[in-house]
Amino acid sequence: QVQLVESGGGLVQAGGSLRLSCAASGRTFSNYALDWYRQAPGKEREFVAGITWSTGSTSYADSVKGRFTISRDNAKNTVYLQMNSLKPEDTAVYYCAARRRASYDYESWGQGTQVTVSS
């Protein structure tokens, strides 16, 4: 059973930065990918960024390219989302989710962390 715990959310002014963390436990993650999603009030959950644990290969939504960076620390089993140049439209609950590399069926989701960007 994969467990994911997010942290690092908060309130920040537009143009500021935050770093989210997703601590993973419960298994070996070499064959997994971890993705970040977000959901704003009244909107559907959307993909933000993802990373393949073994290779470090990354992908990003167009809306965050050049501003957000996803990375992982193998020793800590933790994935990070560095968010720079934040905009009010980045306000959402951010979730991390784990899936096997060859699948888009997510095995586990974190509880979410709130990010609020004020204008």
pLDDT tens digit string along 99-116?
998 888 999 999 999 999
> Nearest CA to 36 among 51, 54, 25?
51
The per-residue pLDDT for 102 is: 86
pLDDT tens digit string along 17-45?
999 999 999 988 889 999 999 999 999 99
Judged on CB neighbours under 10 Å (0-12, 13-18, 19+), 73 is exposed
- Residue for token pair 């470090």: 56
